[in-house]
Structure formats: C-alpha cells, structure tokens
Amino acid sequence: MDQLIRLMLAQDPGLPWQTVFLSILMAFVLAMVIAWVYVQTHQSLSYSRLFVQALVLGGIVGAMLMMAIGNNVARGIGIVGTLAIIRFRSTMKDPRDMMFVFAGIGVGIATGVRAYAVALAGTTIFAGAAFLMKHAAFGARQSHDGQLRVQVPSTPESDAAVKAVLRTHCRNWTLVALRDVEQGNALEHCYQVSLRDPALQTLLIQDLESLPAARGISLFLQQATVEL
C-alpha cells in the first residue's frame, strides 16, 4: 500500500503521502470545529443541515486544491478556469453564513499549504469571536419588541382606550401608521411597542380584545434576523 501511494505521488516527490493525509485530516477536523461553532451560534430564522455539511466538505476541497496546485502556475490557472465553469446558484440571505463559508475554505487553504499554525490560530480566534458576539449581543440595536395592529372605531374615545391599554402593558410605543378601513368607519392603528414584560404579551391581546368593537388585533414579534 505504501509503495502504491508513493507511486501515485511520484510526480511530486517533495510532498510525502503522510503530509497529504495529515493536511486533509487537519482540514476536516478544523472545518468540523467551524461547522460546530456555526450550529451553536446560529440565530437566523432558517437553518440547513446540508449547509453545515457543506462547511466541512468545503474545507477538505480547499486543502485538496491547494496541494494539487502547489507551486505550479499552470495548475492554478487550470483550476481557476474549471471553477469558473461551475455556476453556484445557492443564495445566502445572511451575510454571516458567507463568513462561515470563507472560514471553512480558509482553513482548507491554510492546511493545504501546510500553514498549520495559521489554521489553528485562525480557527481558535474565529470561534471565540463568534461566541463572544453572540452572547454579548454585539451590534444589537433593537428598541422595540414588536409591531402591534388593531382596528377600532374612528372616535376619540376608542383612541384613548387603546392608549390606556398600551400604558398598562408597554414601556413605550410609537404610532407608525394609520389606515382607514370599512369606508372610514374605523381606523387601523399600527404601533411599534416595547413591552414591560414580553412573557405577558397575551395579556395585552386580551385587554385589547375587551375594548368595544376592537378587531383585527395582531402582534408581530421581532426576531434576531428577518428573512423574506
């Protein structure tokens, strides 16, 4: 078996098969770490098991390509031309997913050129930064918990009753839209609301439902990432 592998690598005597195996194995392990970090820090609405597997496979492919190219410029041009033929139709709605793709491929490239220290250090710092930004809520700028819609008769009394309920359950609220419904006999109020206790959101709905002629009540809670 050893002689067969040596024969296969005879065209590149400076790259022993043990080094090839170690580089690809290390790319696999570090790409698995990147994928695990992605699973643990995932916050958007959509999740794909196949995407996680692609992160691992991308690291292996990156290592293979870098070792296949080596110092041969012709090989590099040929591989670039081959990749240009392939059309990647997958779209990523979350820019953070793209960074994990680059991280997986970057690990493969680093191990492919035998820069093992770079691969280890990069994976460690990348994983630490991902966990830190998740638990520290880095970049968060959410001043409201959700959007509330309610339809009430177009009278001052109805408007005052809605605001009384909001004062009871909300720290603050902002009227963002008013829309005529039922040929002007009613108004649909749209508020951005910040709840005093998000766990008691059902009480807000129940109090609004108890108002005379109130209908069309809906509360849309904001998520970490909204995807359309």
What domains can you pick out in the chain, each with its CATH number?
Answer: 2-135 (no CATH), 146-221 (3.30.70.1150)
The yes-or-no verdict on residue 99 having pLDDT over 70 is yes
What angle separates helix 116-135 from helix 17-41, to the nearest 10 degrees? 0
Distance CA 61, CA 38 (A): 19
The yes-or-no verdict on residue 64 having pLDDT over 70 is yes
pLDDT, residue 76, reads 66
Distance CA 30, CA 106 (A): 10
Higher pLDDT, 223 or 58: 58
Residue whose structure tokens are 């951005």: 192
pTM for the structure as a whole: 0.62
- At 105-145, the pLDDT tens digits run 999 999 988 899 999 999 999 999 999 988 886 766 656 67
- What percentage of the chain carries pLDDT values higher than 90? 26
Contact 179, 190 (CB under 8 A): yes
pLDDT, residue 17, reads 81
- At 8-61, the pLDDT tens digits run 444 455 578 888 899 999 999 999 999 999 999 987 767 889 999 999 999 999
pLDDT, residue 226, reads 45
pLDDT, residue 8, reads 47
Comparing 65-69, 85-89, 193-197, which segment has the lowest mean pLDDT? Answer: 85-89
Report the alpha-carbon angle 62-98-63, nearest 5: 5
